[in-house]
Amino acid sequence: MTAPIRENLSGLDLRAEIERLRKERNAVILAHYYQKPEIQDLADFVGDSLELSRKAAETDADVIAFCGVKFMAETAKILSPEKIVVLPDMDAGCSLEDSCPPEQFKRFREAHPDHIALTYINCSAAVKALSDVIVTSSSAETIISQIPESQKIIFGPDRHLGGYLNRKFGREMLLWPGVCIVHEAFSETELLKLKAQHPGAPVAAHPECPPHIVDHADYVGSTSGILQFAKNFPGDTLIVATEPHIIHQMELALPEKNFIGAPGADGNCNCNICPYMALNTMEKLYLALRDLQPRIEMDEELRLAARKSLDRMLDMASGTVGKGDLGRA
């Protein structure tokens, strides 16, 4: 369980205090699209996990306050070892990361020595270090298309993203059985009811959704891709099958359009809100900037090993690695 805040912060103007500390600490504040609007609104950058870490690495900030989940803050540390990286709540985890303990992943790899490991970025630094290439939901398709069909692949930890890629590319990647509890919660029945209420409204879905949701989507892509689709689709209503806090950015960009979050099982539950992301609050962000805790610490050997598989992704995504270059790292 997350530790309760023991101080009484009720008299503080948190926005002003965060602003003061941001300057005093020379800090950059990052907010993932799944954060509460009040946090998104004060962040220096709002985006998806890798994009945020890369932007922060390009700044001369001394401190990164990452309003997201732990694997994202770890990625920021991997790319910016000289910076202090704080996460407002260290219990902000991820069901995909939890599904894939490094020891089990290592044994699985050892049981399949002729497979390379293509691993979704939603995993711990230790699992990244055990992988050959990291992918994001934005880069996965570009990267898979560069891997020879004869090359056997383990894909983890998201079986839905892996299954989507298998279907799209006719691959038979071996899938680690993890799921995102948020995208898993969308209900096909409720989605079909919503579509009937809004005839003609397209559905944009994240590939972490199970096939019975993705099959109804007009667009399937990463959070950044979904946001781009929202900015360009010609209609006036869009059904969004990913964590609904991303709708805040859509409403800011296109206030005249109507964005509806896809429903969970009873049509009205909050089960499509990520409970890990929701642990970050303004109070905890203030305390993290004030105390420079909780802080991401990482062994340098682990960081360099994890960095290798991330760099492989960046090289492949930018087209600087040829098909023949991809072997076991």
Binding-site members for [4Fe-4S] cluster are 94, 180, 274
Between 34 and 105, name the residue whose CB sits nearer to ligand SF4: 34
Between 180 and 205, name the residue whose CB sits nearer to ligand SF4: 180
CB of 22 to ligand SF4, least distance (A): 24
Whether residue 288 contacts residue 294, with contact meaning beta carbons closer than 8 Å, is answered with yes
Query: How buried is 213 (Cβ within 10 angstroms: 0-12 exposed, 13-18 middle, 19+ buried)?
Result: buried
CB of 8 to ligand SF4, least distance (A): 30
Between 130 and 181, name the residue whose CB sits nearer to ligand SF4: 181
CB of 112 to ligand SF4, least distance (A): 24
CB of 155 to ligand SF4, least distance (A): 15
Binding-site members are 32, 49, 94, 120-122, 137, 180, 206-208, 223, 274
Between 61 and 78, name the residue whose CB sits nearer to ligand SF4: 78
Token pair recorded at residue 125: 């630094």
CB of 276 to ligand SF4, least distance (A): 5
Token pair recorded at residue 189: 């029945």
Contact set with ligand SF4 (CB under 6 A): 34, 69, 94-96, 122, 180-182, 208, 243, 274, 276-277
Between 182 and 250, name the residue whose CB sits nearer to ligand SF4: 182
Between 94 and 194, name the residue whose CB sits nearer to ligand SF4: 94
Between 21 and 187, name the residue whose CB sits nearer to ligand SF4: 187
Binding-site members for iminosuccinate are 32, 49, 120-122, 137, 206-208, 223
Three-state SS annotation for the chain: CCCCCCCCCCCCCHHHHHHHHHHHCCEEEEEECCCCHHHHHHCCEEECHHHHHHHHHHCCCCEEEEECCHHHHHHHHHHCCCCEEECCCCCCCCHHHHCCCHHHHHHHHHHCCCEEEEEECCCCHHHHHCCCEEECCCCHHHHHCCCCCCCEEEEECEHHHHHHHHHHHCCCCEECCECCCCHHHCCHHHHHHHHHHCCCCCEEECCCCCHHHHCCCCEECCHHHHHHHHHHCCCCEEEEECCHHHHHHHHHHCCCCEEEECCCCCCCCCCCCCCCHHHCCHHHHHHHHHHCCCECCCCHHHHHHHHHHHHHHHHHHCCCCCHHHCCCC
CB of 244 to ligand SF4, least distance (A): 11
CB of 71 to ligand SF4, least distance (A): 8
Give the span between the Cα atoms of 238 and 65, in whole angstroms: 32
